[in-house]
Structure 1
Amino acid sequence: MQDWDNLRIFLELTRSQGLVDAARKLGIDHSTVSRRMKRFEQQVGSQLFDRNNHGYKLTAEGYRLVEYAEKIESTIYAAAEQLGGQNSKLSGQVRLGATEGFGTFVLAPQIAHFCARNPHITVDMLPMPRFVNLSKHEADISVSIERPLSGNYVVTKLSDYVLKLYASGDYLARHAPINDVSDLAQHNFIGYIDDLVFSEELRYKDTVAPDAFRAFRSTSVVAQYTAACSGHALAILPCFLAQQSDKLVPILQSQVSITRTFWLVAASEQRHVARVSALWSYLRECIELNRAFLMGQAPHMQSLR
């Protein structure tokens, strides 16, 4: 238990796809990882992994150790930053997770400016059509459409955002006019796949037009946006995404306007690590600057310089 390096190997093995993947990330041979973990289990006096043909699976004792090991890891990293003078020269890696559309179309351009400001920080961007799991260390910070109800996290409201109903001008010219919500039943929609939707916050189509047929479904909001631009169906899209295209126009703006919220989340032990804190503050600043854009009240996004 006295050897931090064994704890480091243990944590990487819990986070990786398997023994070979962990060894690659650690820069050592996979046989060394296996040998070190067997020795580590002897030291702690408990079996930490069940080993089978499918890889390494944590035992109950292994899960209990993860919590303590992560606290030690965070303390060591925080101490290294403070003692190494990293607060005066920010450096290192920060991993940022976000929903796919927001991460790709809003955060990515802003992060480019952050990296220009902080040339010694590397930002890994994870725009995904699902929740990013902070407890499994998939990211240091995440932007989520749901506020975590449990867990040791620091959470703040980042911003509200608005979704509206959109169609291409070409679609509107070729199909029946839309003057009221009741007209939507005559039109095809683009939306999410019901049994694969990752949050109840995304089930807005059934509220707006429950009887309309979904001609195209996807887990990806970017795919939905692209399909809407092609001119074959209607779609409910975030304004910050739809406004990227000159082809899409909002429909029934006074009747269809849906507000959702983005939450900024970080594990408590990571929140005050200098490089994480710098990105956290930057995100709040640049999103505040673009609040009107996210609410569909401004046509273009602004960047901090």
Structure 2
Amino acid sequence: MQKDPTRLSALNWDDLKFFLEVARTRKASSAAKRLGVDYTTVSRRVSALEHALGTLLFEKSRTSGFVLTLEGQRLLGYAESIESTLHMACEQVSGSGMALSGHVRIGCTEGFGTFFITPQLSHFVDTYPAISIDILPLPHFISLSKREADIVIALERPEHGAYVCCKLCNYRLRLYATPAYLERHPPLQQVGDLSQHRFISYVEDLAFSPELLYLNNLIPNAHAPLRSTSVIAQYTAAVQGHGLAILPCFLAGQDARLVEVLPEEVEVTREFWMYCREDLRKLRRIVLVWDYIREATERNQAFLLGDTGRMTFLD
């Protein structure tokens, strides 16, 4: 395409919204679903933006979808800055009621998201009904750069990126089994006895973080005939009474069907990190949710470390 600066006067700034969604999802159909329009509308608006700028923003590929060109990559940073500025502007000129409204999407690890974040934030939405929350408790990494979430809670601190990050909390994992399993199998009096038992664990080559591969460090060559990428699946299998599982205390510690095994000898401490994009951190709804999660985890340190089996909630 031949560039023509006079075309900028015909540029529709709303087309940037369509550009951003296609850049993040790489699919016009996915972008259309997120924007609540049809596929042809997305395609038409992106084409209009390319025409106004006089350049190609995407290469179309059958395998990779819509891939940003060099010009598209350059535009992406500017478009995201415009988007963030608009969010901030809306909050600055809106009344206080509007400022404490909106939508927040939280990505987190599967177990923590399901068994801690979800119950905690169910109380949050009762207090702040004008703020809607999406919780994504998934057993894989969630991308902030693609705007898959506004806030992420992860096992590791991000190595790079324009993020605001804080250590959220420590949590512990211990070895659990059902009383029925322990009755049917050789007694467990010391770590050496574990070699006679079978375990439920992660699929090593599919674990999304090396922080999850604690079984081999604790019990080399452990026999694990049942494995899963999901900690909730491991927990469910352990409850069936057919193996031992290393599970987070915040998950298994509140289930009376499971008991701790060798708690003084088999214990793992890990940490959660919370982060979000710098350009979102000052949004009032993000600040409110961020601070609520931090206070909830601080109040529940004993629960997360396995010192109590009871979760508490903010007033």
Question: Aligning the two structures, in what range does the TM-score lie when normalised by the shorter sequence?
Answer: over 0.9
* Contact 1:186–1:212 (8 Å) recurs in 2: no
Deviation at 1:89, TM superposition (A): 4.9
Give the secondary-structure state (helix, strand or coil) at the position aligned to 1:293.
helix
Matched, 1:44 2:53: yes
Distance 1:87 1:134, change over 3 A: farther
Give the secondary-structure state (helix, strand or coil) at the position aligned to 2:276.
strand
Deviation at 1:60, TM superposition (A): 2.8
Aligned residues: 305
What per-residue deviation string (whole Å, max 9, x for no partner) do you get for residues 229-279 of structure 1? 110000101100111311111111111111100111111111110111100
- The code of the aligned residue for 2:301 comes to R
Name the residue aligned to 2:33: 24
TM-score (norm 1): 0.96
Segments of 5+ residues of structure 2 without an aligned counterpart are 1-7
What per-residue deviation string (whole Å, max 9, x for no partner) do you get for residues 47-95 of structure 1? 1111244532222322222122111101111111111124675101000
CA distance in 2, matches of 1:211, 1:51: 47
Name the residue aligned to 2:180: 170
Name the residue aligned to 1:202: 212
* Contact 1:49–1:56 (8 Å) recurs in 2: yes
Q: 2:116 aligns with which of 106, 125, 142?
A: 106
- The code of the aligned residue for 1:81 comes to E
RMSD over aligned CA atoms reads 1.5
Distance 1:29 1:232, change over 3 A: closer
- The code of the aligned residue for 1:26 comes to L
Matched, 1:14 2:50: no
What per-residue deviation string (whole Å, max 9, x for no partner) do you get for residues 115-170 of structure 1? 01101000001001112111110110011110111100001111000111111111
Q: 1:76 aligns with which of 86, 90, 95?
A: 86
The worse-fitting range, judged by mean Cα deviation, of 31-40 and 16-25 is: 16-25
* Contact 1:87–1:274 (8 Å) recurs in 2: no
* Contact 2:177–2:241 (8 Å) recurs in 1: yes
The worse-fitting range, judged by mean Cα deviation, of 29-38 and 262-271 is: 29-38
Q: Percent identity?
A: 49
The worse-fitting range, judged by mean Cα deviation, of 31-40 and 7-16 is: 31-40
Q: Spell out structure 1 runs of 4+ moving beyond 3 A.
A: 52-55, 86-89
- The code of the aligned residue for 2:28 comes to L
CA distance in 2, matches of 1:264, 1:270: 13
TM-score (norm 2): 0.93
- The code of the aligned residue for 1:90 comes to L
CA distance in 1, matches of 2:145, 2:61: 24
Matched, 1:289 2:295: no
Segments of 5+ residues of structure 1 without an aligned counterpart are none
Matched, 1:156 2:166: yes
What per-residue deviation string (whole Å, max 9, x for no partner) do you get for residues 90-115 of structure 1? 10100011100000001111101100
